Structures are given as structure tokens and as C-alpha cells.
């Protein structure tokens, strides 16, 4: 088997580093061909020294200059590129069959879409690409023959529980009754609404089960992450929000389930470790060692499930409403959330203000057709301006 080149969009984040961990266990199968980041020069230098990619991209120009100097200083042959353009170019590079799309937020849209248009195996960890441009993205993948493999643990679990000949973008078989999307509930699962008004960023970023970046940790705390995942599930599996039930599952052992018409419920279980879905995406339809310890059900002891509380965590309902509204509503939802979360992390607004700002943006702005990348990016920008005013 020839070694396959992998482009990792967002290499210095948790998904990127976990992808490199899996790749390093299989040097006979995979090579880190291109790594990208925004401004984290020290992390990128360390990754280049360890994995020797052909290319390293820093979106920030000054960071690229600094990295280029340091790369030269340690005698590496990695070529350092700067700006957003190289992200798109490397995602579509002819020598790259596999793209890990792990840039957080709207910044990952264009390179992820480029990978889909180029017919790559797209390991989709950037849910915003589907949230913002679902119809456009799925159409591009269908036209090019790109293989979409979801990396979010929940969507990866759903994919594993569907028939083996199913491919993302197709309508799920008529034998499927419901998709059961699990959520940990985040760090504030048992908090009262009143107590949520006084929680801070440090508390919100202490996820009980997963080690994640700040933005996604806050999204998990508000349940917006699950709202975005609901939208993603609707696009990946061609279902409506009414066919997706969210189950709060604090142990994060059952990663999601699929209920069939005969009464069967198939579930995918495992330790909360992102290397499992990453390895599945890299090697599908094979399964390879991910370096993850086996699940000990005796130690787990119990698996519990709860209904989400829409009053304490309204972001889930906001996401469902945006999908039903269609057009650019989901792009506006995502943009308003990114602005609100950034403001919360800076201490400029309270935790419960996040869904309030999102709701007010969606009520103020009109949704338009999401039939071009230009219309989507325009809606994204308008929502950011409006959300910034409310902050």
C-alpha cells in the first residue's frame, strides 16, 4: 500500500494533534504532508520538527515570517506559506488524497469546501462548513465524488450504526426511525438558571469528559455545540430536525445511536477519545489501531440519559429553528454565536447573554437564499456586525 499524504487544516488544535498521533502510529500508511495553523508558531515549529511536513501554513503573516525564520534556523526543509490562499490550495492539492478539516469556526469554511470540490476524502471535524453552507457543501461533494466521513464523535457513531453501504449525503434508509444524538450536558448540566447568570469562562471551559479548545468548550456548556451538531446531522444524513432526538448522556460512553423500525437501537460505545473516530475516518472501511484503551464496562458501571432542558439551554432550540428557516439563517446563527462566545470569554458579557444575543440577531436580520459562497459570507458578516452591536 502506498503511503497517503494528509493535509491537516488546524494542526495545532486538539483534533489536529490527535490526528498526528494516529498518523505517527502508522508511518507505513500515512504522511503529514501539510499542516496549517493561525498564529501558534511555537506549537507549529514543534510539529514540523516531529513530523517533517512538506508545507506549513500560518494564516497570520507575521507568524509565518517568524516560523519561516525558525524553520530555517533548525535546518528543516518544510516550506512555510502565509495567508488564507494556501489553505485552499493545499486542501485541493493533487498530491493530497485525505484532508482533515479541523479549523474551528467559519474560518474553516473555504478550505473545507475546496477539499470537497476537489473530490478528496474529507474528514469533517469542522461542523461550521455544513452549518453555514450545507446545501452548497453537499452539492459540491456529490458533484466531485468526494467521500465525507464525519469526525465529530457523535456523527461518526451514527455513521457506524447505519448500514455498511450507506454514504453521507444520501437519505437514510426507510428502516431508520430516529437518530439519537448524545450530549454530555457540559459542565453546567445540573446548574439552575439563576446560577448560570454568574458562571465565568474558566468554569465553562472545564468540560467534565473531553479536552477541547475554549470556543467549543463554551459551546458544549451552552448546548450550542449540540445545536450545531443537530444541523450537521440533518445535512449529513438528509433528515429533518424532528428525526433527531438529543439525549443528555453524562458519561460520554455511548457516542450516539440509531433506532430502527423493528425496535432495534444500535449504539457505538467507546472511551471519550477523539483518536477513535479519527482512525476510523483515516482508514475506512478498514479499522486500525488508534492507540485508545479498550472500554471497561465494569468500571463504567452505569449509563444514564436525560432530556435536554430547553429553558436553561435555549441554544439547542435556536439551532433547530434556524435549520427549519433555511437559507442563510444557520450562517447567521453561527456568526452570532462566535461573536457572543468571544465576548463571554473576554468577560464582556454573561453566560446567559449568549443565547439572548443569538436570538436577537436572528429576529433582526432576514434570511436570504444560501445559493452562493458570496451570499453566505455576506450573511455571516452582517450577523457579526449586528451581534457586535448587541455586545
Domain ranges of the chain: 4-151, 160-384
pTM of the model: 0.93
Mean pLDDT for the chain overall:
95
Nearest C-alpha neighbor of 234 from the set 295, 154, 123? 154
* 160-384 matches 4-151 in CATH topology: no
Nearest C-alpha neighbor of 104 from the set 368, 282, 342, 301? 342
Does the structure show a pLDDT above 70 at 210? no
What distance in Å separates the CA atoms of residue 263 and residue 277, rounded to the nearest whole number? Answer: 26
pLDDT at 266: 98
Q: Residue 26: how many CB atoms within 10 A of its CB?
A: 17
What distance in Å separates the CA atoms of residue 248 and residue 234, rounded to the nearest whole number? Answer: 19
What distance in Å separates the CA atoms of residue 307 and residue 56, rounded to the nearest whole number? Answer: 44
Does CATH place domain 160-384 in 3.90.950.10?
no
What distance in Å separates the CA atoms of residue 248 and residue 263, rounded to the nearest whole number? Answer: 21
Helix axes 275-283, 14-25, angle to 10 degrees: 60
Does the structure show a pLDDT above 80 at 106? no
Residue labelled with grid coordinates 502565509: 82
Q: How far is CA 305 from CA 124, 180, 224, 245, 253, in A?
A: 27, 11, 19, 12, 11
Region 4-151: CATH code: 3.40.50.720
Does the structure show a pLDDT above 90 at 211? no
pLDDT in tens, 51-93: 999 999 999 999 999 999 999 999 999 999 999 999 999 999 9
Amino acid at each position: 500500500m502506498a503511503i497517503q499524504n494528509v493535509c491537516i487544516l488546524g494542526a495545532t488544535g486538539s483534533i489536529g494533534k490527535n490526528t498526528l498521533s494516529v498518523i505517527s502510529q502508522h508511518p507505513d500508511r500515512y504522511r503529514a504532508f501539510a499542516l496549517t495553523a493561525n498564529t501558534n508558531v511555537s506549537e507549529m515549529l514543534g510539529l514540523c520538527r516531529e513530523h517533517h511536513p512538506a508545507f506549513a501554513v500560518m494564516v497570520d503573516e507575521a507568524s509565518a515570517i517568524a516560523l519561516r525564520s525558525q524553520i530555517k534556523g533548525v535546518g528543516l526543509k518544510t516550506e512555510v506559506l502565509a495567508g488564507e490562499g494556501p489553505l485552499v490550495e493545499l486542501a485541493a492539492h493533487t498530491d493530497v488524497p485525505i484532508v482533515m478539516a479541523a479549523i474551528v469556526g467559519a474560518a474553516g469554511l473555504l478550505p473545507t469546501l475546496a477539499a470537497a470540490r476537489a473530490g478528496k476524502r474529507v474528514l469533517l471535524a469542522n461542523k461550521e462548513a455544513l452549518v453555514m453552507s450545507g446545501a452548497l457543501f453537499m452539492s459540491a461533494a456529490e458533484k466531485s465524488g468526494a467521500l465525507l466521513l464525519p469526525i465529530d464523535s457523535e456523527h461518526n457513531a451514527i455513521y457506524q450504526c447505519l448500514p455498511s453501504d450507506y454514504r453521507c449525503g444520501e437519505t437514510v434508509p426507510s428502516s431508520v426511525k430516529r437518530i439519537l444524538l448524545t450530549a454530555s450536558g457540559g459542565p453546567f448540566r445540573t446548574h439552575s438558571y439563576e446560577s448560570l447568570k454568574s458562571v465565568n469562562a474558566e468554569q465553562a471551559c472545564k468540560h467534565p469528559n473531553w479536552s477541547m479548545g475554549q470556543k467549543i468548550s463554551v459551546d458544549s456548556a451552552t448546548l450550542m455545540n449540540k445545536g450545531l451538531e443537530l444541523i450537521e446531522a440533518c445535512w449529513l444524513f438528509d433528515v429533518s430536525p424532528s428525526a433527531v432526538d438529543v439525549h443528555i448522556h453524562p458519561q460520554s460512553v455511548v457516542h450516539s445511536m440509531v433506532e430502527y423500525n423493528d425496535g432495534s437501537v444500535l449504539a457505538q460505545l467507546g472511551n471519550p477519545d477523539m483518536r477513535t473516530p479519527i482512525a476510523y475516518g483515516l482508514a475506512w472501511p478498514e479499522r486500525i489501531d488508534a492507540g485508545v484503551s479498550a472500554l471497561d464496562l465494569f468500571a463504567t458501571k452505569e449509563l444514564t440519559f436525560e432530556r435536554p432542558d430547553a429553558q436553561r439551554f435555549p441554544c439547542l432550540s435556536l439551532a433547530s429553528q434556524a435549520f427549519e428557516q433555511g437559507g442563510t439563517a444557520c450562517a447567521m446563527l453561527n456568526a452570532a454565536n462566535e461573536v457572543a462566545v468571544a465576548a463571554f470569554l473576554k468577560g464582556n458579557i454573561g453566560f446567559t447573554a449568549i443565547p439572548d444575543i443569538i436570538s436577537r440577531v436572528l429576529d433582526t436580520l432576514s434570511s436570504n437564499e444560501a445559493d452562493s459562497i458570496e451570499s453566505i459570507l455576506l450573511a455571516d458578516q452582517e450577523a457579526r456586525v449586528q451581534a457586535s452591536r448587541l455586545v
